[in-house]
A and B are shown apart, each in its own frame.
Chain A
Amino acid sequence: MIFRPKRVWSVVLRHLYLLKHSLSRWIDLLYWPTVDLLLWGFITLYLQKGGYQEGYWVFQFLGALIFWNILIRAQQGLAVGFLEDVWARNLLHIFVSPLTIFEYLLGLFIYSLFKAFIASLLMAVLAFFAFNFKIWIQGVDVFLLTACLIIFAWSIGLLTMAFILFFGQEAEILAWALALLFLPFSAVFYPVEVLPESFQAVAKLVPTSYIFETFRQILLKGYTPYVFILKAYVLVFVYFFLSVGIFILAFNFAKKTGKITKIGE
Chain B
Amino acid sequence: MFPVLTVEDLSKKYGKKLVLDKISFELYPSDILGIIGPNGAGKSTLLYILLGIVSPTTGKIYYFGENFFKNRSKILYKVSFASQYISLPYSLTVEENLKVFAYLYEIPNINKTIDELLELFKLIDKKKTLTRALSSGEMMRLNLVRAFLNNPDILLLDEPTAGLDPEYVKYIGDLFKKFSQKKGLSIILTSHQLGELEKIINKALLIKNGNPIAYGNLTELFQKFGVSSLEELYFKIFV
Q: Enumerate chain A interface residues (CB-CB to B < 8 A).
A: 84-85, 88-90, 92-100, 252, 255-258, 260-261
Contact = CB atoms under 8 A, between A and B. Distances in A.
A26 B97 CA distance: 37
A90 B87 contact: yes
Q: Chain B CB within 10 Å — which of A90, A94, A98, A252 has the most?
A: A98
A96 B55 contact: no
Interface in B33-49: 44-45, 48
Contact of A88 (B83, B87, B101, B104): B87
Nearest to A256: B55
A99 B103 CA distance: 10
Nearest to B147: A93
Interface stretch (B22-30, B73-81, B114-122, B183-191): B73-81
Contacts of A260: 53-54
B88 A92 contact: no
A98 B74 contact: yes
Contact of A90 (B44, B53, B77, B86): B86
Nearest to A92: B86
B104 A98 contact: yes
A258 B51 CA distance: 12
A95 B74 CA distance: 13
Contacts of A100: 73
Interface string B83-101: 1001111110000000001
Given A90-B88, A93-B86, A93-B88, A252 B55 contact: yes
Nearest to B104: A97
Contacts of A255: 53-55
A260 B44 CA distance: 13
B73 A98 contact: yes
Contacts of B141: none
Contacts of A96: 51-53, 76, 81
A165 to B, nearest CB: 12
Given A94-B104, A261-B44, 12 more contacts: A89-B87, A92-B86, A93-B81, A93-B86, A93-B101, A95-B52, A97-B76, A98-B77, A98-B104, A99-B104, A256-B55, A258-B48
B77 A261 contact: no
A102 to B, nearest CB: 10
B134 to A, nearest CB: 14
Nearest to A95: B53
Contacts of B48: 258, 261
Given A97-B101, A257-B14, A258-B45, A89 B54 contact: no
B104 A90 contact: no
A90 B48 CA distance: 14
A87 to B, nearest CB: 9
19 contacts: A85-B89, A88-B88, A88-B89, A90-B86, A90-B87, A90-B88, A92-B81, A92-B83, A92-B86, A94-B104, A96-B52, A97-B76, A98-B73, A98-B74, A98-B77, A98-B104, A100-B73, A252-B55, A260-B53
A206 B53 CA distance: 35
